[in-house]
Structure 1
Amino acid sequence: MAVGVALGFAGAFGGFLAFLLVLVLAAVGGLIGAVIEGRININDYVGGRANGRNQR
């Protein structure tokens, strides 16, 4: 709900570009929060070790 309020204020007072900026920053913040909480394993996406072996 807080994200919706922030997007509403950004759209009303800052225009469309401010709306997009708030939307992108909220998405990035949500992604970073999910990684920190452990809901998303970043190694699956950035090419960490696969099954404990180095790939060459």
Structure 2
Amino acid sequence: MSMALVGMIAGMALGFAGYFGGFGAFLLVAALGAVGFVVGRFAEGDLEVGEFFRTRGDRRDRRR
């Protein structure tokens, strides 16, 4: 599935949530979508838990 199609589906879901459920539902759908995106990246192996807990110094040291 292309990223453009995924983006269109996400936009439509946010639009329906905003229209039918109001701003609170819009925010809930957006937050759950972000959580789902991160979980999906973990499942694919693109992210590791340690990447969220490194300090800035650790990041600079790894780039060298």
TM-score normalised by the shorter chain: which range applies?
A: 0.7 to 0.9
Within the alignment, does 1:18 sit opposite 2:25 as a pair? yes
Greater Rg, structure 1 or structure 2?
Answer: 1
3-state SS, counterpart of residue 10 of structure 1: helix
Which moved further from structure 2: 38-47 or 7-16? 38-47
Q: Alignment identity in percent?
A: 51
> Per-residue deviation at 1:41?
1.2
Match for 2:42 among 35, 44, 51?
35
Per the alignment, residue 2 of structure 1 pairs with: 9
C-alpha displacement of 1:46: 5.2
In structure 1, runs of 5+ residues without a counterpart are 48-56
Q: Figure out how many residues of one structure are paired with residues of the other and give that number.
A: 47
Comparing 16-25 with 37-46, greater Cα deviation is found at: 37-46
Misfit runs of 4+, over 2 Å: 43-47
RMSD over equivalenced CA pairs, Å: 1.3
Give the gaps of 5 or more residues in structure 2. 1-7, 55-64
**Structure 1-normalised TM-score?**
0.75
Deviations 1:3-56 (A, max 9, x none): 100000000110000000000000000000000100101133358xxxxxxxxx
Q: What pairs with 1:35-54 in structure 2 (closer than 5 Å)?
A: 35-45=42-52
